[in-house]
Structure 1
Amino acid sequence: MKIESAENIKKRIAEKDEEIRKIWEELRAEKEKPREEIIAELKGIKRTTGQHPGGLLITLPDTDIQKYTPLNYPADNRQSEWMTTHFEYSFLSEIFLKVDILGHDEPTVLQKLFQLTGVDPSKISFHDEKIMSLFTNADTLGIPEFGTDFVKRNLLTPLKPTKFSQLVQISGFSHGTNVWTQNQHAIYKSGQLSLDQLIACREDIWNFLVFWGVENKNAFIATEYIRKGKWEKLPDNIKEEMKSRLSDREGELYFSILSKIKYIFPKPHAIAYTMTGWRTAYYKVYHPQEFYSVLLTYHTAVYDIWLMTLDPVAITFRLNSLLGSLSSYKNSEKELLSIIKVFEELNKEKKRMEKTTRDLKSFGDTWNRMDITKILADVQEKINTSGGKKFVENLRKNGRTWKLTAKEKDLLFTLKVVLEMEMKGLKFARGLDFNNSEIKDFKIENNTIYFPFTAIAGIGEKVTEKIIAYRREKGPITSQWKEELKGLLNINHIQQLENLEKHNLVINL
């Protein structure tokens, strides 16, 4: 019997392995095929049972909506009073009437500003050069509808509006889909059309068509198709009428604009939003103390009292506390990363602000002492020498490419507000005052920002209510606060307040 060599046996085994692998790949491909087909079928369907904050579908009496769409409980909560349609509204728009009933904070904000200043927002003039300059210079942080980075960077800065009507256009652009971006932005930038020649709101479409000579009814029909993003379904006879009224160049340009629109904002909404923004801007110009007090109270959601001081000593204490607890407190790494991410972005904002002014001395000592680059470099050095290799790797990996979470964006906004206050020379003292601080409201008076008790981590509304009740009944809280409040505060509260006191952040005792 011939004995086969080891080399031949290995070769035959390898051939069999390859044959088995090919059979397996074929079987796997056959098995995956139905799965891939199912995935393709599932693309685009509803992935959550979330709920629009105010979108309501109106049905006729005795109409069973489930003939047209299944219903879901929002967030799968079977105790919910409302139910949601499984299919999106766009699939049901030919069957039901939809209304949006949305809540707005701005009337509450204006009412609060009215109470603090005595200036009735309904009496504010819409012809004020100082207010207009705020929009022209994109100095709109905290102004509703005009204070987002997108509006400031992509609309206010390039367009430099000088008229109220142009602010209405900008409101239309910012709320539309494929109205400014991926459409008229490039046309304006190339100089083919001026701002006044652009289409910003639904009514602009009708006005332009009638101005060109299109018959009123056809202009209305065209507007209805275009505002819903249905240019392709617009009847040919109306397109021909529109084309016959325009020169070849004009027709080609405006046909291109109208055909790209997916959704366009109604002008009454744009005007209402712009009026609210303008009225809010009045208080920013003429009553900054009250404006920033209300802004911090109603439009900031995440606070960090140490970071809001803009004081390098207090900030460093906060960061060192997190560095010291990396091994014992599992959330310290996450918190530290978040602060570093936010400070990277805040540093960019600080440098942008510095570029827009010639006199940096006017910013004051706090601004000039707050060297964010140095603070970040010191933290990085401490991390590098801490021995926390995993954390260092995370930091380097995420360093320049990270995206901010929603919570981090909220903290960044809060710090931008405080930074802007400093830039504008509003040199407020900052701190917690046992006898003046409120539960949630940022109180600003006598050139002092009184932080609310709930801005301190771990101190909730219930504890704060007890502190306020104590000072109401017993009188002012003194430097013996630990003894006076010993029945209300736990060890963690006392430790945090002691640290604040050491850094002069418990004030007016």
Structure 2
Amino acid sequence: PKEKAIEIVVTNTRKIAEQCEVLKPLAEEWKSYNPKIAGADEKLVAMCYDNAKAIYGDPLPKVVQDRLTLELTPIINHGYGVLYYIAHKLVKHSNDRGYLVGSRGSVGSSFVATMSGITEVNPLPPHYVCPNCHWTHFFEDGSVGGGFDLPDKKCPKCGHNLNKNGHNIPFAVFLGFDGDKVPDIDSNFSSGDDQGVAHKYTEELFGRDNVFRAGTIAGIQDKTAYGFVKRYAENRGLTFNDIFIEKLSAGVAGVKRTTGQHPAGIMVCPRDMDIHNFTPLQYAANKKYLKDENGKQIPGTITTHFDYHSISGRMLKLDILGHDDPKVIRMLQDITGIDPLKIPFDDQKTLSLFSSPAALGLTPEQLASAIGNKGVTVGALGLPEYGTPFVRGMLEDTRPKNFSELVRISGFSHGTDVWLNNAQDLIKNGTVKLEEAISTRDDVMNFLIQHGVKPLTSFKVMENVRKGKGLEKGGSNNRAELEAAHIPSWFIESCLKIQYLFPRAHAVAYVMMAFRIAWFKVYQPLAYYAAYFTIRAEGSFNAPIILKGLEAQKAELARIAALPNPTAVEKGNATVIEVAAEMYLRGLSFLPIDLDRSDASEFKMVDGKLLPPFNCIPALGDAVAKEIVSARNEHSFTSKEDLKKRGKVSQSIIDTMDSMGILKGLPEEEQISLFAF
């Protein structure tokens, strides 16, 4: 009957459908599933206003109030408050332990990030602020490159010395013109020590079962694919020409070869969700067990099975990166007792390093006699951001006079087609001054707005230029707007050449770290070289050459310079030897490695000289260096045989130590003393 048919086909089918639970195999692509922290938005807003009022007074100046409103409104409305709060917790955890944390990328474009302690970079216009009565004066007309460049001044209201800050960075660089881009907050933690602690802290924050290493998929590289095809042909006695091999290898390249893990990426799953809603899990490279530095078996690292790129839009990815600058600064603070946060960014002797070596007590001729004639008219050797021959050449071309010009040099060096055949020519020809040339993406937007171009057009042009896409995108007519606003032709031509532009916030953060290290180079030279050789020269300190003195260093540098194709190891050694030669020219020197006093891996300041550690000895690694120190702490070595046995040192390394004079006076074998009975 018809009624029965309707019951079976329609009614019962609907009943079954209504009882079915709707399941989705994967979280929706368009939605971002962030972890939840109760009251995060309210805590973030309160923190920002409390810190802003502590610096700028209550009521807040209009510039400060407007910027906080501009940023907090989209941050809270789009649900990004928790991301800021998480970053704040991570950075504060390291700061409380005495470590500086550097910001990466354009997070320094956000004043909310500054007020919540995520970054040191202040993106407001350059300004004076009185720490006593909160009097302020902002320079909003673009006449000042950065707040650190302002001359020292006393408060006109209370007579107190004024603080100076502000780097004039638009918020749109970070979260887009409408503030709707997902914030990508990356931080540089002290490599090795503090980075590992920060990784562990994420487990405390979110729970161990909700934190996973970001997985990666490694494909077959082009050269490897070419080799596979060639061997395939050889094994089968086939003859392929090069064009056919390249065609076949193109089909092999990119095929999954193994899996791994991002060195700093942490994927966070919300507590109320299961990780399998996003991705399966696996052991990196399918290794269930690994061996630690002592050879003991430890569990392998669990990572996301899917490559992190494919799920990063849906899950929170924290980039807890390791960097040497915070590590160097922490070591300098430990050995000198000087607080790096109190170093002024307008110190004239430190600034002079970037245009002359005079503050080091050296002349260009002295440097050239030791290291050759490359970047010797500046004193930036060994400094982060500025120590390479390429960037030292930039310094020689520009002779920066203040902090904001150093930021420009950093932007030039990190960009693509920004300096060579572009800004370098414009500055040399006198077309523009250093402070006018495009060095970072923010320069494009700020310049256009200051010259009357609409803010939205200025933002779109900046976005196109920073990605190397010229001025236009999708049928736009931006060039006509720029020409109508009488934007100079050199600016337009410069934009068209650029392939990639660095964010100013990132450059400012890097230069702040580099400047602090440069200050120690001027005022605490022995401590500076101790930190440099301990952290930056690791693995490249050629002890048999360097410890022989300046003449041996000069000879080795000349030998490497004469090579047509020096190896990467030789280039690395040369960089370190150059810094050692500079140190000797400044009247400082090394002690020989001492079996009774040397550390395992750290250069020590002893009697006004540097005492090298054991890991400087060729082929002697950190593990053996630690064994030597551990055995020595029990009691001194009595013979080479004793060192070999208790220090776990091989015969070849014993021979090397002997040739370096480290084992002078130590007998070959144990000697029984009659008086010991």
Distance 2:587 2:382 in 1: 17
1:488 partner letter: R
Deviation at 1:293, TM superposition (A): 0.6
Structure 2 counterpart of 1:307, from 545, 548, 557? 545
Partner of 1:255: 492
Q: Deviation of residue 208 (structure 1)?
A: 0.5
Structure 2: how far apart are the matches of 1:74 and 1:131? 46
- Which runs of no fewer than 5 residues in structure 1 stay unpaired? 1-27, 312-365, 378-397
Whole-Å separation in 2 of the counterparts to 1:93 and 1:259: 32
State which of 635, 654, 657 in structure 2 corresponds to 1:497.
657
- 1:102 match: secondary structure: strand
One of 394, 419, 438 as aligned partner of 1:180: 419
Does 1:104 find its partner at 2:262? no
What does residue 607 of structure 2 align with?
A: 446
Is the 1:289–1:445 Cα contact (8 Å) retained in structure 2? Answer: no
Who is 2:567 aligned against?
404
Aligned equivalent of 1:415, options 577, 590, 593:
577
Report the counterpart of residue 130 of structure 1 in structure 2.
Answer: 349
User: Aligned with 1:422: secondary structure?
Assistant: helix
Gaps of 5+ in 2: 1-237, 289-299, 357-377, 667-677
Relative to 1, partners in 2 of residues 1:52 and 1:372: Cα closer, same or farther, differing over 3 Å?
same
Offset at 1:218? 1.8
Partner Cα separation in structure 2 for residue 29 and residue 371 of structure 1:
52
Amino acid in structure 1 at the alignment position of 2:572: D
| 1:81 partner amino acid | I
What amino acid is the match of 2:493? Answer: S
User: Taking structure 1 as the reference length, what is the TM-score of the superposition?
Assistant: 0.65
Equivalent in 335, 338, 362 of residue 116 of structure 1: 335
Q: Are residues 95 and 470 of structure 1, via their aligned partners in 2, closer, same or farther at CA, if it must alter by over 3 Å?
A: closer
Moved more, 92-101 or 236-245: 92-101
Aligned mates of 1:505, 1:147 — CA distance in 2 = 41
Pair 1:284–1:45, CA change in 2 (3 A): farther
Name the one with the larger strand percent.
2
2:265–2:319 Cα contact (<8 Å) kept: yes
SS of residue paired to 1:103: strand
Deviations 1:413-453 (A, max 9, x none): 22222111112221x24211122101111112213322211
Give 1:432's aligned amino acid: I
* 1:433–1:169 Cα change, 3 Å: same
SS of equivalent residue, structure 2 residue 426: helix
* 1:229–1:368 distance in 2 versus 1, CA, 3 Å: closer
What is the correspondence of 1:312-323 to structure 2 with a 5 Å cutoff?
Answer: none
CA–CA distance in structure 2, aligned partners of residues 280 and 206 of structure 1? 31
C-alpha displacement at 1:59, in angstroms? 11
Give 1:469 deviation, angstroms: 3.3
* C-alpha distance in 2 between matches for 1:209 and 1:261: 16
- Residue 149 of structure 1: which of 379, 385, 389 is its match? 389
Question: 1:444 aligns to what SS in structure 2?
Answer: strand
Cα distance in structure 1, aligned partners of 2:473 and 2:316: 21
Residue 439 of structure 2: aligned partner? 200
Q: Which has the higher helix share?
A: 1
Contact kept in structure 1, 2:553 and 2:581, CA below 8 Å: no
Answer whether contact 1:301 1:411 (CA < 8 A) is retained: no
- Does structure 2 conserve the Cα–Cα contact (< 8 Å) formed by 1:173 and 1:179? yes
Compared with structure 1, are the counterparts of its residues 48 and 307 closer, same or farther at alpha carbon in structure 2 (3 Å cutoff)?
farther
For 1:262 and 1:148, the matched residues in 2 are separated by 22
1:298-325 Cα offsets, whole Å, 9 max, x none, are 001223321112x3xxxxxxxxxxxxxx
1:216 matched residue in structure 2 = 455
Amino acid in structure 2 at the alignment position of 1:421: M
User: 1:311-346: per-residue Cα shift (whole Å, max 9, x none)?
Assistant: 3xxxxxxxxxxxxxxxxxxxxxxxxxxxxxxxxxxx
Residue 166 of structure 1, CA deviation = 0.1
SS at the partner of 2:660? helix
Aligned Cα root-mean-square deviation (Å): 4.1
Q: Are the equivalent residues in 1 in contact too, given 2:261–2:303 (CA < 8 A)?
A: no
**Distance of 1:469 and 1:271 partners within structure 2:** 42
Could you say which residue in structure 1 is the equivalent of 2:27?
Answer: none
What TM-score, normalized to structure 2? 0.50
Equivalent residue number for residue 357 of structure 1: none
Could you tell me whether the CA contact under 8 Å between 2:452 and 2:485 is conserved in 1? yes
Q: Distance in 2 between matches of 1:448 and 1:167?
A: 32
Q: Which amino acid is the alignment partner of residue 114 of structure 1?
A: Q
